[in-house]
Amino acid sequence: TSAARASGVWKVYGSGEAQVVALRGVDVELERGRFTAIMGPSGSGKSTLMHCLAGLDSVSRGQVFVGDTGVTGLSDAGLARLRREKIGFIFQQFNLLPTLTAQENILLPLAIAGRKPDQDWFKTVIDTVGLGDRLGHRPNQLSGGQQQRVACARALVSRPEVVFADEPTGNLDSRSGAEVLGFLRRSVTEYGQTIVMVTHDAVAASYADRVIFLADGQIVAELTGPTPERVL
Ligand code: ADP
Ligand code: ADP
Protein backbone atom coordinates (compact mmCIF):
# COMPACT_ATOMS: atom_id res chain seq x y z
CA THR A 1 0.00 0.00 0.00
CA SER A 2 0.97 3.64 -0.36
CA ALA A 3 1.87 5.93 2.55
CA ALA A 4 -1.08 8.19 1.79
CA ARG A 5 -3.67 8.51 -0.95
CA ALA A 6 -6.37 10.95 -2.03
CA SER A 7 -9.08 9.70 -4.34
CA GLY A 8 -11.51 12.09 -6.03
CA VAL A 9 -11.08 14.66 -3.29
CA TRP A 10 -13.16 17.84 -3.40
CA LYS A 11 -13.00 20.53 -0.76
CA VAL A 12 -15.53 23.34 -0.59
CA TYR A 13 -15.27 26.08 2.03
CA GLY A 14 -18.31 28.14 3.03
CA SER A 15 -21.62 28.23 1.21
CA GLY A 16 -23.70 30.44 -1.08
CA GLU A 17 -21.97 33.61 -2.25
CA ALA A 18 -19.00 32.97 0.01
CA GLN A 19 -18.38 29.47 -1.35
CA VAL A 20 -14.80 28.64 -2.37
CA VAL A 21 -13.96 25.41 -4.17
CA ALA A 22 -10.41 24.74 -3.00
CA LEU A 23 -9.95 21.20 -4.43
CA ARG A 24 -11.65 19.85 -7.55
CA GLY A 25 -11.38 16.07 -7.71
CA VAL A 26 -7.75 15.49 -6.74
CA ASP A 27 -6.31 11.99 -7.18
CA VAL A 28 -2.84 11.39 -5.82
CA GLU A 29 -0.96 8.42 -4.43
CA LEU A 30 2.13 8.97 -2.29
CA GLU A 31 4.48 6.02 -2.39
CA ARG A 32 6.42 4.98 0.67
CA GLY A 33 10.00 6.16 0.95
CA ARG A 34 9.67 9.11 -1.41
CA PHE A 35 9.98 12.86 -1.01
CA THR A 36 7.14 14.69 -2.76
CA ALA A 37 6.90 18.45 -3.18
CA ILE A 38 3.60 20.22 -3.83
CA MET A 39 3.99 23.51 -5.70
CA GLY A 40 1.57 26.02 -7.22
CA PRO A 41 0.48 29.62 -6.99
CA SER A 42 -0.91 31.12 -3.82
CA GLY A 43 -4.51 30.01 -3.37
CA SER A 44 -4.16 26.96 -5.64
CA GLY A 45 -5.06 24.55 -2.83
CA LYS A 46 -1.66 23.31 -1.64
CA SER A 47 -2.32 23.74 2.08
CA THR A 48 -5.85 22.42 1.74
CA LEU A 49 -4.61 19.26 0.01
CA MET A 50 -1.97 18.72 2.68
CA HIS A 51 -4.49 19.32 5.48
CA CYS A 52 -6.94 16.85 3.92
CA LEU A 53 -4.22 14.20 3.50
CA ALA A 54 -3.11 14.72 7.11
CA GLY A 55 -6.58 14.49 8.63
CA LEU A 56 -6.45 18.12 9.77
CA ASP A 57 -9.33 19.10 7.49
CA SER A 58 -12.37 17.09 6.39
CA VAL A 59 -13.01 16.51 2.69
CA SER A 60 -16.31 17.53 1.03
CA ARG A 61 -16.27 14.55 -1.31
CA GLY A 62 -13.86 11.68 -2.04
CA GLN A 63 -11.60 9.60 0.12
CA VAL A 64 -8.27 9.87 1.91
CA PHE A 65 -6.15 7.05 3.26
CA VAL A 66 -3.05 7.20 5.44
CA GLY A 67 -1.41 3.81 5.17
CA ASP A 68 -4.41 1.46 5.16
CA THR A 69 -6.49 3.67 7.45
CA GLY A 70 -9.46 5.40 5.84
CA VAL A 71 -9.39 8.98 7.13
CA THR A 72 -12.82 9.98 5.85
CA GLY A 73 -15.36 9.13 8.50
CA LEU A 74 -12.98 8.90 11.45
CA SER A 75 -14.25 10.53 14.63
CA ASP A 76 -12.34 13.47 16.13
CA ALA A 77 -10.74 11.04 18.57
CA GLY A 78 -9.84 8.73 15.69
CA LEU A 79 -8.30 11.63 13.78
CA ALA A 80 -6.29 12.71 16.81
CA ARG A 81 -5.02 9.17 17.20
CA LEU A 82 -4.15 8.90 13.50
CA ARG A 83 -2.14 12.13 13.68
CA ARG A 84 -0.40 11.02 16.87
CA GLU A 85 0.49 7.54 15.63
CA LYS A 86 1.05 7.85 11.90
CA ILE A 87 1.87 11.45 11.01
CA GLY A 88 4.68 13.90 11.67
CA PHE A 89 4.26 17.65 11.09
CA ILE A 90 6.76 20.38 10.28
CA PHE A 91 5.51 23.98 10.06
CA GLN A 92 6.92 27.24 8.72
CA GLN A 93 7.05 28.64 12.27
CA PHE A 94 8.93 25.94 14.08
CA ASN A 95 6.28 25.57 16.82
CA LEU A 96 8.73 24.43 19.51
CA LEU A 97 7.82 24.74 23.16
CA PRO A 98 9.98 27.59 24.52
CA THR A 99 10.44 26.19 28.03
CA LEU A 100 11.74 22.80 26.87
CA THR A 101 15.25 22.00 25.65
CA ALA A 102 15.86 20.84 22.08
CA GLN A 103 16.06 17.22 23.23
CA GLU A 104 12.86 17.52 25.31
CA ASN A 105 11.07 19.05 22.31
CA ILE A 106 12.22 16.18 20.10
CA LEU A 107 10.98 13.56 22.59
CA LEU A 108 7.68 15.30 23.36
CA PRO A 109 5.46 13.47 20.83
CA LEU A 110 6.64 10.12 22.16
CA ALA A 111 6.12 11.27 25.75
CA ILE A 112 2.58 12.38 24.91
CA ALA A 113 1.86 9.05 23.23
CA GLY A 114 3.30 7.22 26.24
CA ARG A 115 5.88 5.52 24.03
CA LYS A 116 9.55 4.92 24.73
CA PRO A 117 12.00 6.05 22.07
CA ASP A 118 13.74 3.32 20.10
CA GLN A 119 17.26 4.12 21.35
CA ASP A 120 19.05 3.24 18.12
CA TRP A 121 16.68 5.31 16.06
CA PHE A 122 16.79 8.21 18.51
CA LYS A 123 20.57 8.22 18.29
CA THR A 124 20.43 8.13 14.49
CA VAL A 125 18.02 11.08 14.40
CA ILE A 126 20.15 13.00 16.90
CA ASP A 127 23.32 12.33 14.90
CA THR A 128 21.64 13.29 11.64
CA VAL A 129 20.14 16.50 13.03
CA GLY A 130 23.65 17.79 13.69
CA LEU A 131 22.99 19.86 16.81
CA GLY A 132 25.97 18.58 18.74
CA ASP A 133 26.11 20.02 22.25
CA ARG A 134 23.14 22.29 21.61
CA LEU A 135 20.62 19.54 22.43
CA GLY A 136 20.33 20.94 25.95
CA HIS A 137 19.62 24.48 24.69
CA ARG A 138 16.19 26.09 24.64
CA PRO A 139 14.72 27.30 21.33
CA ASN A 140 15.58 30.96 21.98
CA GLN A 141 19.24 29.95 22.28
CA LEU A 142 19.19 28.38 18.80
CA SER A 143 19.28 29.89 15.30
CA GLY A 144 16.23 29.58 13.06
CA GLY A 145 17.87 26.79 11.08
CA GLN A 146 18.73 24.88 14.25
CA GLN A 147 15.18 25.32 15.58
CA GLN A 148 13.76 23.96 12.34
CA ARG A 149 16.11 20.98 12.47
CA VAL A 150 14.81 20.29 16.00
CA ALA A 151 11.29 20.44 14.61
CA CYS A 152 12.28 17.99 11.84
CA ALA A 153 13.80 15.61 14.40
CA ARG A 154 10.59 15.87 16.46
CA ALA A 155 8.54 14.93 13.38
CA LEU A 156 10.80 11.96 12.57
CA VAL A 157 11.47 10.48 15.99
CA SER A 158 8.28 8.40 16.09
CA ARG A 159 9.01 7.01 12.58
CA PRO A 160 5.62 8.13 11.27
CA GLU A 161 4.03 6.70 8.16
CA VAL A 162 4.33 10.13 6.56
CA VAL A 163 5.77 13.53 7.46
CA PHE A 164 3.98 16.64 6.20
CA ALA A 165 6.07 19.80 5.93
CA ASP A 166 4.34 23.12 5.20
CA GLU A 167 6.85 25.64 3.77
CA PRO A 168 9.59 24.32 6.10
CA THR A 169 12.17 26.76 4.70
CA GLY A 170 9.82 29.75 4.43
CA ASN A 171 11.38 31.55 7.39
CA LEU A 172 15.00 30.58 6.78
CA ASP A 173 17.92 32.07 4.87
CA SER A 174 19.16 29.90 2.02
CA ARG A 175 22.02 28.34 3.96
CA SER A 176 19.83 27.27 6.91
CA GLY A 177 17.20 26.16 4.42
CA ALA A 178 19.74 23.91 2.70
CA GLU A 179 20.65 22.33 6.06
CA VAL A 180 17.01 21.56 6.79
CA LEU A 181 16.38 20.21 3.29
CA GLY A 182 19.55 18.12 3.42
CA PHE A 183 18.34 16.59 6.69
CA LEU A 184 14.94 15.78 5.20
CA ARG A 185 16.56 14.38 2.04
CA ARG A 186 18.82 12.08 4.05
CA SER A 187 15.88 10.82 6.10
CA VAL A 188 14.28 9.73 2.81
CA THR A 189 17.37 8.36 1.05
CA GLU A 190 18.99 6.65 4.02
CA TYR A 191 16.03 5.69 6.21
CA GLY A 192 13.11 5.37 3.80
CA GLN A 193 11.00 8.10 5.42
CA THR A 194 8.03 9.37 3.36
CA ILE A 195 7.83 13.17 3.16
CA VAL A 196 5.32 15.53 1.59
CA MET A 197 6.36 19.18 1.45
CA VAL A 198 4.44 22.26 0.34
CA THR A 199 6.78 24.91 -1.01
CA HIS A 200 6.95 28.02 -3.19
CA ASP A 201 10.66 27.57 -3.62
CA ALA A 202 12.07 25.75 -6.66
CA VAL A 203 15.36 25.13 -4.85
CA ALA A 204 13.49 23.41 -2.02
CA ALA A 205 11.49 21.38 -4.55
CA SER A 206 14.74 20.24 -6.19
CA TYR A 207 15.39 18.04 -3.13
CA ALA A 208 12.20 16.07 -3.85
CA ASP A 209 11.85 12.91 -5.97
CA ARG A 210 8.53 14.08 -7.31
CA VAL A 211 6.94 17.51 -7.76
CA ILE A 212 3.18 17.93 -8.09
CA PHE A 213 1.88 21.25 -9.44
CA LEU A 214 -1.53 22.50 -8.37
CA ALA A 215 -3.54 25.25 -10.05
CA ASP A 216 -7.07 26.23 -9.13
CA GLY A 217 -7.63 23.12 -7.03
CA GLN A 218 -6.42 20.59 -9.58
CA ILE A 219 -3.18 18.76 -10.31
CA VAL A 220 -2.04 20.26 -13.60
CA ALA A 221 1.47 18.87 -13.97
CA GLU A 222 3.90 16.49 -12.36
CA LEU A 223 7.64 15.86 -12.50
CA THR A 224 9.05 12.54 -11.33
CA GLY A 225 12.67 11.56 -10.89
CA PRO A 226 13.98 8.00 -11.05
CA THR A 227 12.61 5.66 -8.40
CA PRO A 228 15.19 5.85 -5.62
CA GLU A 229 16.74 2.72 -4.22
CA ARG A 230 14.92 1.80 -1.06
CA VAL A 231 16.96 1.36 2.07
CA LEU A 232 14.24 0.03 4.36
P1 ADP B 1 -2.43 27.57 -1.08
O2 ADP B 1 -1.93 26.76 0.07
O3 ADP B 1 -2.09 26.99 -2.41
O4 ADP B 1 -2.07 29.02 -0.98
P5 ADP B 1 -5.02 27.14 0.16
O6 ADP B 1 -5.22 25.70 0.20
O7 ADP B 1 -4.60 27.86 1.38
O8 ADP B 1 -4.03 27.49 -1.03
O9 ADP B 1 -6.36 27.85 -0.34
C10 ADP B 1 -7.10 27.39 -1.48
C11 ADP B 1 -8.38 28.24 -1.59
O12 ADP B 1 -9.22 27.96 -0.49
C13 ADP B 1 -8.11 29.74 -1.56
O14 ADP B 1 -9.05 30.36 -2.41
C15 ADP B 1 -8.36 30.09 -0.13
O16 ADP B 1 -8.77 31.44 -0.01
C17 ADP B 1 -9.47 29.14 0.25
N18 ADP B 1 -9.46 28.79 1.68
C19 ADP B 1 -8.47 28.16 2.35
N20 ADP B 1 -8.79 27.96 3.64
C21 ADP B 1 -10.04 28.46 3.79
C22 ADP B 1 -10.96 28.57 4.88
N23 ADP B 1 -10.66 28.07 6.09
N24 ADP B 1 -12.14 29.15 4.66
C25 ADP B 1 -12.47 29.63 3.45
N26 ADP B 1 -11.67 29.57 2.37
C27 ADP B 1 -10.48 29.00 2.54
P1 ADP C 1 25.86 15.77 3.07
O2 ADP C 1 26.93 16.70 2.62
O3 ADP C 1 25.93 15.40 4.52
O4 ADP C 1 25.57 14.61 2.16
P5 ADP C 1 23.77 17.75 2.42
O6 ADP C 1 22.97 18.32 3.54
O7 ADP C 1 24.63 18.65 1.62
O8 ADP C 1 24.50 16.54 3.07
O9 ADP C 1 22.81 16.97 1.44
C10 ADP C 1 21.96 15.97 1.88
C11 ADP C 1 21.30 15.32 0.70
O12 ADP C 1 20.61 16.31 -0.08
C13 ADP C 1 22.29 14.66 -0.24
O14 ADP C 1 21.71 13.42 -0.62
C15 ADP C 1 22.38 15.58 -1.42
O16 ADP C 1 22.55 14.82 -2.61
C17 ADP C 1 21.06 16.27 -1.44
N18 ADP C 1 21.20 17.65 -1.91
C19 ADP C 1 22.09 18.57 -1.49
N20 ADP C 1 21.92 19.74 -2.14
C21 ADP C 1 20.89 19.56 -3.01
C22 ADP C 1 20.21 20.40 -3.95
N23 ADP C 1 20.56 21.67 -4.15
N24 ADP C 1 19.19 19.87 -4.64
C25 ADP C 1 18.83 18.60 -4.43
N26 ADP C 1 19.39 17.76 -3.56
C27 ADP C 1 20.42 18.22 -2.85
pLDDT for 104-161, tens place per residue?
999 999 998 888 888 999 999 988 888 888 999 999 999 999 999 999 999 999 999 9
Burial of 184 by CB count in 10 Å (0-12 exposed, 13-18 middle, 19+ buried)?
buried
Q: For the chain, give the percent of residues with pLDDT over 90.
A: 87
pTM of structure? 0.91
What distance in angstroms lies between residue 147's CA and the mean position of ligand 2's atoms? 19
Query: Which residue has a Cα nearest atom 5 of ligand 2?
Result: 182
What distance in angstroms lies between residue 185's CA and the mean position of ligand 2's atoms? 7
Q: Region 206-217: what's the mean pLDDT?
A: 97
Where would I find the H helices in 11-90?
46-53, 76-86
Please list the residues that pair with 20 across neighbouring strands. Answer: 13
CB 11 within 8 A of CB 52: yes
ipTM over 0.85: no
Backbone angles phi, psi at 123, to 5 degrees: -65, -40
Question: In this predicted structure, what is the pLDDT of residue 185?
Answer: 95
Rounded distance, CA 214 to CA 220, Å? 6
Q: What is the number of the ligand 2 atom nearest to the C-alpha of 207?
A: 25
